[in-house]
Amino acid sequence: MSRLLLSSFLLTLCASPLSAGKFNKKLNVGDAAPAWGALEATDGKKYALADFKDKDVLVVVFTCNSCIVAGLYEERLIAFAAECNKPGSTVGFVAINVNTGKADALPAMKERAKKMKFGFTYLYDPSQKVALDYGAMFTPECFVLNKDRKVVYMGAFDDKAGGEPKMKYVADAVAAARDGKAAAPAETSAAAGCKIKFDKKDDE
């Protein structure tokens, strides 16, 4: 009887999908990317996840104005987004900010986007729901979605906030997704940036 119960338990355990990744408490690689509704951007328009359906690969980066580490990555994100935005590109790029303090509110985002000449869509979600849905905890934190909008990579943009990186995780994951291959690595810890300032406890 005990053997039967043990076998049943093991079969149930093996059949149960993993609920989260190694570092992400919410999503695992291979999960469907949570959709978001229309969020306001610094260009005055609103964008939902579905608005990027023409892109075979979509890079989603959670960032903000006030984090020093996010600031260190701005030039790299601008350059990467410029490559994504070239004519005929099948790769999309969107940044999302969910912090609600004055330095990170939409007016400040618009000023930052203008000053730094952001060439990418920069969205604001004061409800913070999209970050909670993605399990994003830090800025910057990146997600690469394939054509089916499954998560193929999540974690840091690269392996070094300051200086020249050796590993370009997001770029490599995008290349793999375009070729229909698995990213390696498919998950890393987020860059050692600032924790997202959730208005409620992270585990709620």
DSSP secondary structure string for all residues of 70-136 = HHHHHHHHHHHHHHHTSTT--EEEEEEE---SGGGSHHHHHHHHHHHT--SEEEE-TT-HHHHHHT-
Instruction: Give, for all 204 residues of the chain, the pLDDT tens digit.
Output: 444 443 443 444 343 344 578 899 999 999 999 999 999 999 999 999 999 999 999 999 999 999 999 999 999 999 999 999 999 999 999 999 999 999 999 999 999 999 999 999 999 999 999 999 999 999 999 999 999 999 999 999 999 887 889 999 999 999 999 999 999 999 999 877 899 999 965 444
pLDDT score, position 189: 93
Phi-psi region of 109 (alpha: psi -120 to 50; beta: other; left: phi over 0): alpha
Bond preceding residue 140 cis, omega within 30 of 0: yes
CATH architecture of structural domain 32-195: 3-Layer(aba) Sandwich (3.40)
Before 165, cis peptide (omega within 30)?
no
Tell me what pLDDT residue 19 has: 59
For residue 113, what are the CA distances in angstroms to 18, 32, 43, 83? 38, 30, 9, 18
Place of tokens 């989603």: 60
pTM value is 0.88
